Amino acid sequence: MEFVYSLINMIAEMAPYLLLGFLIAGILYAFVPAGFYRNHLSRPGAWSVIKAALIGVPLPLCSCGVLPTAVSLRRNGASRGASTSFLIATPQTGIDSIAATYSLLGPAFAVIRPVAALVTAFVGGMLVNKEDKACNDGCEMEVDTIDAPQSDTFGRKIVDALRYGYVDMIQNIGKWLIIGLVIAAAITVFVPDGFFTFFADYPFLSMIAVVIVAVPMYVCSTGSIPIAMSLMLKGLSPGAAFVLLMAGPAANFASIIIVSKSLGKKTAAIYLGTIVVGAIAIGLCIDYLMPRDWFTMPMVASHAHCHLNIDWFTGVCSALLVILLINALIKRYTSNKSERHHHSEHNSDNMDTKQTTIIVKGMTCGHCKAMVEKNLSKLAGVESVTVDLASGETKIHGNPNMNEVKATIDELGFSVA
């Protein structure tokens, strides 16, 4: 029962802040004019790098969702430095994860995370700009960021904001949030107290170990929070925990490969190096230059896992969050069935329509799915596109040029099996 109690307590701690974060994310999505992000990142120089970082920090995109967005920005004329800055800053944090960080790790971490994202994004973007001597060539393929459909009425925008924040957003990060919570609860209950005290006198060594573990794995910025908290409860230093919070969401093998393919090997090296060196440098500052009590109070409050610690407000928020998670995950894994049924009916009415099925690899969220469907639908000869996110199965109705299909998928940072 300790595992269950620990899991419930963590959900209760995070639920109010997550719900607030999802709401703000939806408002950003629905009320920011279409094309705003792309228009402000299309100019070369330091200012576009700074704006890319400032825009990326509050956006609730994980590393999988930010990849096609950053590639799209580049293909539409954004400088390589601005694209890299956006790519580094965005997955490290977001409105939702900042709120959740405050709830579990306290105000110090909640402030340091976005500041670190800004600093490392600016440094990485400027290094890429310095290295990049080629022209900012555009691309004929028109791709968009996370622009919302611009509704005419205020009421419709509110509906769009709620749908994006409490359905689409949770579809994108819900699985990873659940995995992070389960791992955190398991660490809290089953790892002995003081397990990481061996590293207490070797913070740099502990940070290297965290990097080795964090870079290959994938964890979203919100899902990393309970894991970091649980590791700190077992003796890991706050600085080493911060390395996990920064390197885990921002860098993984999949993103490194796609960045290398889309923006170049030098850009990929700068991207990874900036994240790793920046995370360790800021982690060392936390351990050696900042008061330890800044990072202890929230964990002490969360350490009780032998009994439930929930009041009526957090209980209501927790129940609502669980309902939204269940609803979003059901929609994510069942929506494609209705889409396939719709297209099968469409094909029965038009027997001349050709259907081509391919497997697109690398899609991990609803944003990835939408990018593939939208851009393939623009190709000549394509009547409609249906993507099954879980399997990667992509059905193309019409008579497209398959070389153009593969090129478009490559441009988005994905691959055809």
Cα dihedral 187→279→67→323 (10° resolution): 30
pLDDT at 166: 87
pLDDT at 302: 46
| CATH 2.60.40.10 is held by the domain 335-416 | no
Q: Which residue has the tokens 């601005």?
A: 82
pLDDT at 63: 63
Over residues 196-214, mean pLDDT: 80
pLDDT tens per residue across span 367-409? 777 778 888 888 888 888 888 877 888 999 888 888 888 888 8
Q: Sign of dihedral through CA atoms 410, 392, 324, 309?
A: negative
Distance CA 80, CA 306 (A): 51
Distance CA 326, CA 371 (A): 24
pLDDT at 123: 94
Q: Which two tokens stand for residue 92?
A: 């490290």
Distance CA 131, CA 266 (A): 8
Q: Report which of residues 234 and 339 the model is more confident about.
A: 234
For 415, left (φ over 0), alpha (ψ -120 to 50), or beta?
beta
Inter-residue contact 417 to 361 (CB < 8 Å): yes
Over residues 253-270, mean pLDDT: 76
In the predicted structure, residue 110 carries a pLDDT above the cut 90: yes
Inter-residue contact 29 to 62 (CB < 8 Å): no
In the predicted structure, residue 312 carries a pLDDT above the cut 70: yes
Count of all residues that appear for the chain in the document: 417
In the predicted structure, residue 118 carries a pLDDT above the cut 90: yes
In the predicted structure, residue 144 carries a pLDDT above the cut 50: no
pLDDT tens per residue across span 63-72? 666 766 676 6
Over residues 190-207, mean pLDDT: 75
pLDDT band at 344 (very low <50, low <70, confident <90, very high): low
In the predicted structure, residue 44 carries a pLDDT above the cut 90: no
Q: What share of the chain is helix, strand, coil (3-state, %, to 5)?
A: 70, 5, 25
pLDDT at 238: 92
Q: Where in the chain is the domain with CATH 3.30.70.100?
A: 335-416
The mean predicted confidence, pLDDT, of the chain is 78
* Residues 6 or more apart whose Cβ sits within 8 Å of residue 224: 180, 244, 245, 248, 249
pLDDT band at 301 (very low <50, low <70, confident <90, very high): very low
